[in-house]
């Protein structure tokens, strides 16, 4: 089965009111070209589940988001993500705030097709106290109470992989897959962008096959976009673009996110975008961060 699509064809699967999940972590390996395509689309009123970075921030700043399911939204070196921050401080979005590990549990439950996973995480905190959707249950096996972390089911997930074949086999060559495999499994429909499109024979090397974390039946759409994670990183190919994140942050801070969108996204192709930020060679030369 050939699952290759353009970003526009792929993102057309996302309709207003849907719940979408986005892989990656903070400023790392985010499917940003797919997010830009979503910014160009008419889809709105979205519920977004993510270990959030500028993906969540930009969608919030563009008014696409009804609700965010999150444990953090941060760019690490810029601890406070500007678009998300503004949306929160204007009361523009609903939130479902959980612990980072609870998100893993919710994704796991969805991927296993069970309604919840019991956990002690969240007990005694406002995660539970402020969220009537999170239920506390008794255990049939002990006398304690437990949080029933609900399955985080989603309509569509967006993921950025290092390499894919056209059948949807996806290699994550980065040191961390994060929860991307769980996003792929939790979603009814998964769209994966990749830096490199490879023949199926690429995966015959056992070391490469070990870097494939979900089977291709969970990938519905493959989009080949070299540099498609920019301004986030795609370790080991390129790092994240500190300068660009800062410029985006300044634009939001100055109330000029619309100008950012018009300069980089709306009415522009991904080629236009990449030319704006210095070209694909410049993206691929971005150094990996070291802490």
Partner 1 sequence: MSEAASSYSLAELMVVAASRVFDNEGEVLATGIGLLPRLAASLAMKTTNPDLMMTDSQSFLLSEPNPVSGMKTHAGQANETWLGFRAVFDNVWSGKRHAMVGPSQVDRFGQANISALGGTYQQPKVQLLGVRGFPGNSISHGNSFFVPQHSTRVFVEGECDVVGSIGYNPDRLPKGYTFDDIDVRQVITDLCVMDFNGPNRQMRIVSLHPGVTEQEVREKTGFELAVVDNLGTTPAPTQAQLNVIAELDPLNARSKQLKDNPPGDRR
Rounded Cα distance between 102 and 79, Å, is 21
Considering only the C-alpha atoms of the chain, give the largest distance between any 2 of them, rounded to a whole number of Å: 61
Shortest spacing between CB 17 and partner 1, in angstroms: 21
Bridge partners (DSSP) listed for residue 230: none
Nearer to partner 1, 138 or 215 (CB): 138
Smallest distance, partner 1 to C-beta of residue 247, A? 21
Which one, 184 or 222, has the nearer CB to partner 1?
184
How far apart CA 121 and CA 93 sit, in angstroms, is 24
Joined together, the tokens standing for residue 61 give: 């700043």
Whichever of 77 and 266 has its CB closer to partner 1, that residue is 77
Q: Could you tell me if 84 and 73 are in contact, meaning their C-beta atoms sit under 8 angstroms apart?
A: yes
**Closest CB 88 distance from partner 1, rounded Å:** 4
Binding of residue 291 to partner 1 (CB under 8 A)? yes
**Residue 113-152 contact track with partner 1, rule CB under 8 A, x = bound:** -------xxxxxxxx-xx-----------xxxx-------
Check residue 25 for interaction with partner 1 (CB under 8 A).
Answer: yes
Interaction between residue 102 and partner 1 (CB under 8 A): yes
Question: Between 65 and 94, how does the x/- string for binding to partner 1 read (CB under 8 A)?
Answer: -----xxxxx----xx---xx--xxxx--x
CA 102 from centre of chain: 16
- Between CA 286 and CA 227 the distance in angstroms is 10
Q: C-beta of 81: minimal distance to partner 1 in Å?
A: 9
Site membership for partner 1, residue 255 (CB under 8 A):
no
Residues 169 to 228: which contact partner 1 by CB under 8 A?
Answer: 175-179
Give the interface segment with partner 1, choosing from 2-10, 97-105, 203-211, 268-276 (CB under 8 A). Answer: 97-105
Residue 187: φ, ψ to 5°: -95, 150
Q: Is residue 226 within 8 Å of 192, Cβ to Cβ?
A: no
What is the secondary structure of 115-132 as a DSSP string?
SEEEESTTTTSHHHHT-T
Q: In angstroms, give the least distance from the CB of 111 to partner 1.
A: 12
Q: Which residue has the tokens 């797919």?
A: 34
Residue closer to partner 1, measured from CB, 97 or 196: 97
Q: Does 27 bind partner 1 (CB under 8 A)?
A: no
DSSP-derived secondary structure for 56-123 = HHHHHHTT-EEEEEES-B--SSS-S-HHHHHHHHTT-SEEEE--HHHHHHHHHHHHHT-SEEEESTTT
Cβ 34 to partner 1 shortest distance, Å: 21
170: tokens are: 């996806």
Contact 27, 232 (CB under 8 A): yes
Residues that bind partner 1 (CB under 8 A): 25, 51, 70-74, 79-80, 84-85, 88-91, 94-95, 97-102, 104, 120-127, 129-130, 142-145, 175-179, 288, 290-291
């Amino acid at each position: 089965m050939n699952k290759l699509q353009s970003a526009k064809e792929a993102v057309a699967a996302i309709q207003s009111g849907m719940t979408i999940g986005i892989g990656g972590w903070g400023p790392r390996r985010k499917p940003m070209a797919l997010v830009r395509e979503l910014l160009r689309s008419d889809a709105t009123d979205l519920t977004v589940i993510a270990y959030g970075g500028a993906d969540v921030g930009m969608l919030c700043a563009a008014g696409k988001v009804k609700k965010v399911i999150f444990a953090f939204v941060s760019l690490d070196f810029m601890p406070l993500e500007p678009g998300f921050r503004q949306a929160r401080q204007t009361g523009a979005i609903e939130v479902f705030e959980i612990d980072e590990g609870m998100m893993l549990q919710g994704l796991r439950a969805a991927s296993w097709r069970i309604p919840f996973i019991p956990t002690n995480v969240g007990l005694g905190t406002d995660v539970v106290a402020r969220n009537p959707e999170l239920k506390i249950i008794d255990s049939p096996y002990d006398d304690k109470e437990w949080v029933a972390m609900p399955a985080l089911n989603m309509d569509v997930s967006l993921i950025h992989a290092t390499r894919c074949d056209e059948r949807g086999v996806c290699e994550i060559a980065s040191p961390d897959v994060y929860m991307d495999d769980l996003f792929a499994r939790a979603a009814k429909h998964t769209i994966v962008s990749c830096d490199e499109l490879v023949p199926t024979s690429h995966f015959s090397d056992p070391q490469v096959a070990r870097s494939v974390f979900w089977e291709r039946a969970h990938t519905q759409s493959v989009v080949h976009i070299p540099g498609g994670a920019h301004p986030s990183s795609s370790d080991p190919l390129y790092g994240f673009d500190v300068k660009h994140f800062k410029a985006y942050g300044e634009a939001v801070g100055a109330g000029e996110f619309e100008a950012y969108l018009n300069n980089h996204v709306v009415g522009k192709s991904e080629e236009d975008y990449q030319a704006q930020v210095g070209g694909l060679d410049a993206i691929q030369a971005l150094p990996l961060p070291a802490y």
